[in-house]
């Protein structure tokens, strides 16, 4: 594909160059963490991590391994910049969110360094669009590096099943209460809405559970 084999003309080297045959894969992943307008991007030889944070208490990370890209080159140990995630998603879907059978939107991202914009080269059906998105000084992010020896309870769930559970919750409730316990109810989601209290219980041997390690009963809202 021409877009993925030709480096954009420049008098200076790019610190980051990444190419994808289908930009919609990237946009789908980024939409999952798009609960704030801005995101911080970290590029290393391992891949690209996009972090979104809200009020220093909620953090979401999307990590795209270097092997996913058709080309992924980082000239420094790490490259970091902040970007408007809403604008980035608009650019990635500039040809629309769907595509005709047998077609896809090829993407090439280039970043020259501090103070320079992130350049996107998108090609679909022979039409090439160039987008330049201003980058910003990255914010200091919280380090959610929990010590494994101090973890009281740990549950890993299948995301598809958990999404179905969330769809059944009473949205008139101001809070979602999560209970984890080594005994019944094991894993419980509770809401307290206009129609009263509602509880969704899942046993530890449920098909939804990938891992269940609980040492004591714990309830959080």
Q: What is the pLDDT of residues 194-220, one digit of tens each?
A: 878 888 888 888 888 888 888 899 899
Q: What is the pLDDT of residues 24-59, one digit of tens each?
A: 888 888 888 888 889 999 999 999 999 998 877 788
Q: What is the pLDDT of residues 117-167, one digit of tens each?
A: 999 998 888 888 899 999 988 877 767 666 666 788 888 888 888 888 888
Which residues have a Cβ under 8 Å from the Cβ of 149 and sit 6 or more positions away? none
The pLDDT, as a whole number, for residue 5 is 42
Q: Give the predicted TM-score (pTM) of the model.
A: 0.67
**pLDDT confidence bin for 7, thresholds 50/70/90:** very low
Query: Which residue is it, tokens 């946009």?
Result: 27
The pLDDT, as a whole number, for residue 98 is 62
The pLDDT, as a whole number, for residue 19 is 92
Q: Which residues of 60-90 are buried (b: 16+ CB within 10 A; e: fewer)?
A: eebebebeebbebbbeeeebbbbbbbeebbe
| pLDDT mean over 68-76 | 89
**What is the residue extent of each domain of the chain?**
16-136, 148-219
Sign of CA dihedral 26, 31, 33, 35: positive
Sign of CA dihedral 6, 9, 11, 17: negative
CATH of domain 16-136: 3.70.10.10
């Amino acid at each position: 594909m021409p877009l993925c084999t030709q480096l954009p003309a420049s008098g200076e080297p790019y610190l980051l160059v990444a190419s994808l045959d289908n930009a919609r894969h990237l946009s789908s992943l980024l939409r999952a963490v798009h609960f704030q307008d801005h995101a911080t991007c970290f590029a290393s030889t391992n891949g690209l991590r996009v972090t979104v944070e809200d009020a220093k208490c909620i953090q979401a990370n999307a990590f795209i391994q270097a092997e996913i890209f058709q080309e992924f080159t980082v000239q420094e140990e790490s490259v970091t910049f902040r970007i408007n995630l809403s604008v980035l998603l608009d650019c990635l879907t500039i040809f629309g969110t769907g595509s005709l059978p047998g077609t896809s939107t090829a993407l090439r991202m280039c970043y020259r360094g501090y103070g320079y914009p992130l350049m996107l080269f998108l090609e679909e059906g022979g039409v090439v669009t160039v987008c330049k998105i201003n980058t910003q000084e990255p914010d200091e992010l919280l380090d959610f590096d929990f010590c494994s020896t101090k973890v009281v309870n740990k549950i890993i769930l299948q995301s598809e099943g958990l999404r179905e559970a969330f769809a059944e919750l009473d949205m008139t409730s101001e809070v979602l209460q999560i209970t984890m316990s080594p005994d019944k109810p094991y894993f419980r989601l509770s809401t307290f809405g206009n129609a009263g209290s509602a509880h969704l219980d899942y046993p530890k041997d449920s098909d939804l559970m990938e891992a269940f390690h609980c040492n004591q009963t714990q309830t959080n809202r």
